[in-house]
Amino acid sequence: MKRVQIFDTTLRDGEQSPGISLTPKNKLEIARQLDRLGVDVIETGFPISSSGDFEAVSLIASKVSRPVICALSRAKEEDIDVAWQAIKEAANPRIHTFVMASDIQIKKQLNKSYAEVLEMVSMAVSRAKRHVWDVEFSPMDATRANFDFLLEMIGLAIKNGATVINIPDTVGISTPDSFGQLIKYLVEAFPWLGDKVTLSVHCHNDLGMATANALVALQNGANQVECTINGLGERAGNTALEEIAMIIDTLPDLALETNVKTPEISKTSRLITNLTGYSVQHNKAIVGRNAFAHSSGIHQDGVLKSSDTYEIIKPERIGLKTNKLVLGKTSGKHAFKEYLSELEISLPEEYFKEAFRRFKKLADKKAEITEADVEAIVNEVCLSGEEVYHLVDLSVCGKDGDMPIVNVVVSKNGEKKKASAEGKGHVSAIAAAINNALQINGQITDYEVKSITEGSDSQAYVICKVLVNEKTYTGSGSDEDVLKASAIAYLRAVSRALA
């Protein structure tokens, strides 16, 4: 069995998805869950890009000790030095540096010669090597690069001490056949790749082939895959961690293995959805809502007789429970705390009290509280604790045929602001009222509402993307009332803009 290293870049490439803006506290929570998931490397961010990213990388480096903690840097001395400052407290630090490799990027973006690019490679890797033993080098846009020049870049990086060579399909243009051949040729050119030097791949999903490309790379000599939870990332995203992990877990003939604790997959996916505001499509492989749903009569008949007739993965394998510990309005604090403990959730006392209050409120309206309900409540409490602005009150009035009028009260540090507005619909009126209260010009660019669980008594979960000063911010909110959930989501989005 060949051991495959799982390199998670949800906190770096994943956060580059439009509208995602994670706080250092959010990032630490995700990193701890990735640690429980068993990933080998966590790419925590791009420290030079902002003070917030530097703070998040430093926080994770000091708090998460098992996996390799990696920071990204351009081939610039300042970038590399700042990356080191951010990860220097890590038990297992890595600096990941990159240089553009394709002619189109070298000429049109870098405006440099091949010789100048090679100088950048040498400088970047050797500079990083001064700080850490573990240095990863990526020839960016490798799949469109001149092959001979790509070999020169890789050889120079190894000569200067790179311990990992990563081959990015930056624009997602490769087919499995061409990408597999590229990896095969590189291993033939450098026989120690995949052995003394880790050979990694980073595949984008622009043509829907990221996971297939990553898999064929492993079959041709690569031994590290860079991926993200739920396939998040630039444009169409990256190789989805849950897909590559479950392919390896489900197909023993591949003779591959990872350290991923697959029962943590579903929980990790939900956490990423809650904190980023990026929901998963219902038919998404492994973690989609319909991944274990059966509608066809023929399929239902087969599954009822034996689940393996149509299910190649048991739901429990990714952490979905087929049995439920039922919570209801008669459940007390002890039962609620035990339930949180089973979910491996630990809350400070003030957060626990608020979570229990919200649970009891929901239980008065809903006969059965599920794991997803509880996770949504905990997420709301934790997000509320970080908010700059809080929704104090929301009221909607208007008769059929009239434009609805919304009144809102929001607060910041106890100071309340009231405002009213009307709109063509309830959500547009809510947005206008919050805009008036905060004296901001926000515009909804995307709005999604879904139920957290099935049934008419489900909590509503709203994801709202808002354009403020030509930049998009994402907010999410959940509540039994869809309009209140919408107001919370919109307020969180514009709060991020104001922050």
Helix, strand or coil for residue 444? strand
| pLDDT for the residue numbered 434 | 95
- Strands, E assignment, 193-311: 198-203, 224-227, 256-257
Query: In which band, very low, low, confident or very high, does the pLDDT at 325 lie, cut at 50, 70 and 90?
Result: very low
Q: How far apart are CA 63 and CA 61, in angstroms?
A: 6
What are 496's two structure tokens? Answer: 């991020």
CB 211 within 8 A of CB 239: yes
- Mean pLDDT is lowest, of 282-296, 352-366, 467-481, for 282-296
User: What pLDDT digit, counting tens, does each position of 297-321 carry?
Assistant: 665 567 567 777 777 888 888 987 6
Torsion angle in degrees (nearest 10) through CA of 493, 497, 498, 499 = 90
| Mean predicted confidence (pLDDT) in 4-29 | 92
Of 37-51, 349-363, 406-420, 454-468, the least confident: 454-468
Confidence of residue 324 (pLDDT cuts 50, 70, 90): very low
CA gap 179, 172 in Å, rounded: 10
Cβ-in-10-Å burial (0-12, 13-18, 19+) of 199 comes to: buried
pLDDT of 294 reads 62
Residues 226 and 238: beta-carbon distance below 8 Å: yes
Structure confidence at residue 323 (pLDDT): 42
Eight-class DSSP state of 369: B
* Separation between Cα atoms, residue 417 and residue 409, nearest integer Å: 6
With bands split at pLDDT 50, 70 and 90, how would you rate the model's confidence at 43? very high
Q: What is the pTM of this model?
A: 0.80
Q: Please check the confidence at residue 230 and state whether its pLDDT lies above 80.
A: yes
**Ramachandran class of 96: left when φ > 0, alpha when ψ lies in -120 to 50, beta otherwise:** beta
Chain mean pLDDT for the chain: 90
Q: What's the rounded mean pLDDT across residues 207-218?
A: 98
Type of residue found at 83? A
Q: What is the pLDDT of residue 374?
A: 86
> Are residues 309 and 302 in contact, defined by beta-carbon separation less than 8 angstroms?
yes
Torsion, CA 148, CA 151, CA 157, CA 160, rounded to 10: -90
% of the chain residues with pLDDT over 90 = 64
Query: What is residue 46's predicted lDDT score, i.e. its pLDDT?
Result: 97
pLDDT at position 264: 95
Mean pLDDT of 248-253: 97
CA gap 61, 54 in Å, rounded? 11
**What order of strands is seen across the sheet that includes strand 443-451?**
443-451, 460-468, 471-479
- CATH of region 387-498, choose from 1.10.10.200, 3.30.160.270, 3.40.30.10, 3.40.50.920: 3.30.160.270
pLDDT at position 299: 59
Map out the domains of the chain as residue ranges.
Answer: 2-276, 333-385, 387-498
Instruction: Please say if the pLDDT value at position 100 is more than 70.
Output: yes
Q: Can you give the pLDDT at residue 297?
A: 61
- If one compares 412 and 44, the residue with the highest pLDDT of the two is 44
The percent of residues in the chain predicted with pLDDT above 70, rounded, is 94
Distance, in Å, from the CA atom of 311 to the CA atom of 299, rounded to the nearest integer, reads 10
CATH of domain 2-276: 3.20.20.70
Listed in sequence order, the residues at least 6 apart from 303 whose beta carbon sits closer than 8 Å to its beta carbon are 294, 309, 310, 311
Q: Which residue carries 């905990």 as its tokens?
A: 378
Q: Indicate if the pLDDT at residue 458 is higher than 70.
A: yes
Mean pLDDT of the region 350-356: 89
Greatest alpha-carbon span in the chain: 75
Is the pLDDT at 23 greater than 80? The verdict is yes
- The 10s digit of each residue's pLDDT in 52-70 is 999 999 999 999 999 999 9
* Per-residue pLDDT at 346: 85
